[in-house]
Structure 1
């Protein structure tokens, strides 16, 4: 940005003073006063016109980093793919970034919603699920991280859903990433970046009301605590009371997330982060059988809102507390050390009476003729998990001859300890079962005795890894990324021998960053995933091992307002877990699987009034893996406009399309197109918005699984919100 000021003043120093006073908003420069003639000058010199001088002051905007706020939808830097603040045009692997503005405009109520328009992501893999954020990337489940540290341990133990209002961005690294993060699937990493204290005071409070009696209040306060900016703070808080589209399943939340940054110098910063979250919910997943959802049932379709559990017993209540820090110190311009650390305590009280859709494929084992009375399991777990995670590394920048190096030497560790009580009761038609059948089309509750609870063996998991990575630049255009890592994972169950897994994983990438903005690349990466626990036959699972080859082209326009990426990949994985067709409660490990695909992604700002996001992905999934749509596409656009002299209006609309697919022997899941919309009015102090997801209230099935159950997708959600900035 250039600010050009033309000031009439005889001495140049007065001209500069006038410019700086104008920039400081202290009003226009004062008129030049008559001055005594310079010694030896004539008395008329002061009356002569002043010399016209042009002073050009160039103000550079703050450098965008992978942690700072982004204005709009286009982010240019990411940290997830390299653990360094690296431009996307210099990253030889697919990365999608969902910014804060995108989440706000699309009215994201959860992490799944935030990923609705992310390339390569199946965001509603299991429809509306109140227990966790479930999504798939390149056919598998990615690892979920927060600020570069693993967030979850095991299913339904620490998978409390993340509140999107606490996030600055979400970065999706597609493809194996074990060289940097240790254990993880071929899907890659979804890394959420928390809101952090800002040097400028920004304060916001907002309220919203919407479908399913959703009532929410939220606030986000940040700024300096001291005049010199040494101490910065941020406080994010959310309170919500809500129902869901399923009867008797609430979606209530209380959350407080404070953070504090200390910057004693330009070379050192320490950010302390805390979180307390208390959710009261249940399970929107009822595990309905095929017939009545995807196939005909003589009694008609099962209503989306149907609840077949026990209202006085079912719940999914979770508490999450965490404390940690982000530390960085630069010894000089070339060497920097960082440490990210977090302690977390997670408690989940999960009790559910759900449908037996597994004894007979497609369900109705208790009523195979009339297909009205459904058998049910009663499952309860009360879990407490304590997690410690830390990642520390040294980053060095130096040059050898014509080659510039950016080296990362790191060590990370994670520890998890799980205590659990559990109980299980079977349908009444099974041996020893006491759970009564329920009329799905006219349910009557209350004839139920909860299962007895008992202590499960204490389990622990310890993971450590050391890694080295070098980002090399040859001249101005050639980029090579190479890395190597060694992992050791120990899984222990009380009164059993520890299971120890080790692995060495690699990555290698080659990219040519052309001056024209095009960056073609080729990369190779690996994954390693220890699988804790035993199968139903007391056999330990063996680790998953994955390999990916990816080729693509990235493009960024010279003005930074257009980003386009295309990638093609081939994934191979050994020892993938799938459902056991002979035992619905068990999982088995198959041999090698192969997945190939193509992904296209566009983000652009057109004519300063229109933002657009578009993507398409094709995936050819191995039939041994759980089915997902082969084709998927989405487009979202936002248009800003004025009405008369009133500025600040915007409208947005998007469409998401999934092709039909089939999981094994399950009935076909039909293709679907969903439409979302937004209208907003914004002033410097106020923002009013109306968001609608699944605008036309389409009832659709997100997936039907080979094991026998089907999952409904989210119905229409309309939310009106207002926020005040001060």
Structure 2
């Protein structure tokens, strides 16, 4: 580990000229924050002469509303499954609170996380089919999607979708987390925390209208079932949306999410919840590549023919009981069902200016059962205080998949780029290429010890995972079939150490590994080898006690083996890339620096290199070295003539990327401006208290850059505007 530490130091030195300005700015912000809040580095002493830590003021719970009334969250369960202050957690975690989601008017998970350090979005242009997210150069879209601590699995093509309006917060845990969650990307996970019942009464209705003819209505009601009894709580969230987005891509959604909590005493809590969601977007959102290889501002498919319809339902419960003697038992159980049907057109050759297209159809269905059992114990061994977590989890996924396309071409789908006309219709092809029936069962036993020893904080954890996979593939056109049964097992580890100074500065280091039995298949139909990863991390956090400020600077060395990459989108064929090494630095600040003024800043430098397999020495495609963002939001105070007005502005930058692992050409760097404006009518007249109007503009300059990956190209999202009106009482 010492050698790796030295290598990282040498690496950082070689690249210091790139990071100097950003690091200087962060150090300056550290110093200013310490001076501004009068921090004293000297420790206070009690009567016995022992050093005593300065108090850290914490408000609310990890998924509660009080902690989410600032942009700088105080606690999170995501990194350790134990409710822990972020400044005492020895690894990098970014939390997007409810306040931040509302300030920026986020309409998707992608919009919610894209101002977080180490997070890359838009790497495949504008693609609303899935929440496509990279963390530290790793694509976690299919492997890092979690909700309420349970994974939303991927098997073939379809994925579970989540609307930010249904959430209280989004947690981005960076680096391998297999010790706690089992299968997962070495880049990390995005854990979305649902809105659940609270003792606070919640009443909200709202409407949204925006680009393009996008109309939405939503509501959120909750609180005690009866006024005089807080043992029974409820919450119901709903949303209905109809309309399109840029590029004539549909964006329809209907969501209902009820939940109920019963608390018979202070030691027991039982929450049952459910959700039903129907989505419709388009299946081929790519841009057309002309006969000369140029990227055209034209849809490759036809908006009238194209669709991707997804229906999903989830039902589950969360149970918690605290026993005498410092023991707490938790059980998190969920059943999920997803059904997807899609069809689209795509170009296969040209005659002059006429594109010849053929139709493709996809059917995907998935049933998921999950349960996570946890036993938490608190005890002391001499001067050390332990919070020990033991867990046993089980996941069972069954899926069926069908894929087909027109065996013969139809002139009805031809498209003349010299006279572009949309509006074709036609039948949906049969699933005549391949049909797959697959299952995956995962069992994991894990333990994590979180230790407090004076000002030191340690975590040490391990997990044994067993995975059984089976797959039966029938190639309909040839009449052949293949069957495969795979048993995998792996032991994962996680260790971290942090020292908490009295003034809120907390240097830390960590090491963790990951294991992911992927479900992608090769050209022969066989399942690819599992992905494995390991990460070394060194960083420092700073949270001045009693403030809503959290700053962090982190360096990491992350290695992934058997990374799956899509080599043929037409037949959904993948291959293992080999080994990829990511080294980088992340700087992040989330702070309320003055009354009404919030600042969210992030910078990431990531050197990504293929270190095994083909194209050794090159960079993976669509992986930038530099990502930066800055968001500021100011709410005018009561003594201002603009009382009730809130204004926000943001800037996002993503550096240039290679279009393939061959590194022969590049995608341009992207630079976007965002803005938000809202007004609380209650500031003008108290009878309008709770009525708020908002205007949010994304990509103000309407920049629509082309992004290509391994021969397939997409256009970035153009200017997107939404106006909303909400009433809370």
Could you say whether these structures have the same fold, taking a TM-score greater than 0.5 normalized by the shorter chain as the test? yes
Deviations 1:290-315 (A, max 9, x none): 888xx7x4xxx622xx3332445421
1:722 alignment partner in structure 2: 725
Report whether the alignment pairs 1:668 with 2:669: no
> Normalized against structure 1, the TM-score is what?
0.84
1:349–1:687 CA distance, 2 compared to 1 (3 A):
same
2:476 alignment partner in structure 1: none
Deviations 1:340-372 (A, max 9, x none): 11111111111121345xxxxxxxx535xx5x4
Considering fraction of residues, name the structure with more helix.
Answer: 2
1:581–1:222 CA distance, 2 compared to 1 (3 A):
closer
Aligned pair partner of 2:646 in 643, 650, 654: 650
Q: Do 1:338 and 1:394's aligned partners in 2 also have CA atoms closer than 8 Å?
A: yes
1:467–1:318 CA distance, 2 compared to 1 (3 A):
same
Q: Do 1:130 and 1:284's aligned partners in 2 also have CA atoms closer than 8 Å?
A: no
1:137 alignment partner in structure 2: 135
Q: Do 2:270 and 2:320's aligned partners in 1 also have CA atoms closer than 8 Å?
A: yes
Q: What secondary structure is seen at the aligned counterpart in 1 of 2:180?
A: helix
Structure 1 unmatched ranges of 5 or more:
1-59, 357-364
Report whether the alignment pairs 1:373 with 2:354: yes
> Normalized against structure 2, the TM-score is what?
0.84
Q: Do 1:427 and 1:435's aligned partners in 2 also have CA atoms closer than 8 Å?
A: no
Deviations 1:235-280 (A, max 9, x none): 1000111112123x32111110001010001111011111011112
Aligned pair partner of 1:471 in 436, 446, 450: 450
Quote the Cα distance in structure 2 between the aligned partners of 1:420 and 1:155: 7
Which protein shows a greater Rg? 1
Report whether the alignment pairs 1:531 with 2:522: no
Report whether the alignment pairs 1:637 with 2:638: no
Worse overlay, 481-490 or 62-71: 62-71
1:447–1:480 CA distance, 2 compared to 1 (3 A):
closer
* Alignment size in residue pairs: 639
Q: What secondary structure is seen at the aligned counterpart in 2 of 1:230?
A: strand
Residue 520 of structure 1 and its aligned partner are, at CA, apart by: 0.6
Report whether the alignment pairs 1:387 with 2:391: no
1:442 alignment partner in structure 2: 419
Residue 519 of structure 1 and its aligned partner are, at CA, apart by: 0.8
1:176 alignment partner in structure 2: 176
2:395 alignment partner in structure 1: 414
Q: What secondary structure is seen at the aligned counterpart in 2 of 1:398?
A: strand
Q: What secondary structure is seen at the aligned counterpart in 1 of 2:179?
A: helix
Aligned pair partner of 2:676 in 675, 678, 684: 678
Extract structure 1 runs of 4+ deviating beyond 6 A. Answer: 581-584
After superposition, where does 1:195-594 map in structure 2 within 5 Å?
Answer: 195-226=195-226, 227-247=228-248, 249-283=249-283, 285-289=285-289, 297=294, 302-303=296-297, 306-332=298-324, 334-356=326-348, 365-367=349-351, 372-425=353-406, 437-444=414-421, 446=424, 450-454=428-432, 456-475=435-454, 477-494=455-472, 496-532=483-519, 534-580=521-567, 585-594=572-581
Quote the Cα distance in structure 2 between the aligned partners of 1:583 and 1:218: 38
Q: What secondary structure is seen at the aligned counterpart in 2 of 1:456?
A: strand
Q: Do 2:277 and 2:312's aligned partners in 1 also have CA atoms closer than 8 Å?
A: yes
Deviations 1:30-83 (A, max 9, x none): xxxxxxxxxxxxxxxxxxxxxxxxxxxxxx998422111211211010111001
Q: Do 1:339 and 1:393's aligned partners in 2 also have CA atoms closer than 8 Å?
A: yes
Residue 377 of structure 1 and its aligned partner are, at CA, apart by: 4.8
1:638–1:533 CA distance, 2 compared to 1 (3 A):
closer
Q: What secondary structure is seen at the aligned counterpart in 1 of 2:110?
A: helix
Deviations 1:429-483 (A, max 9, x none): xxxx9995432453445486643225723211111111011011112x1111111
Quote the Cα distance in structure 2 between the aligned partners of 1:715 and 1:659: 18
1:708 alignment partner in structure 2: 711
RMSD: 2.4
Q: What secondary structure is seen at the aligned counterpart in 2 of 1:498?
A: strand
1:625 alignment partner in structure 2: 620
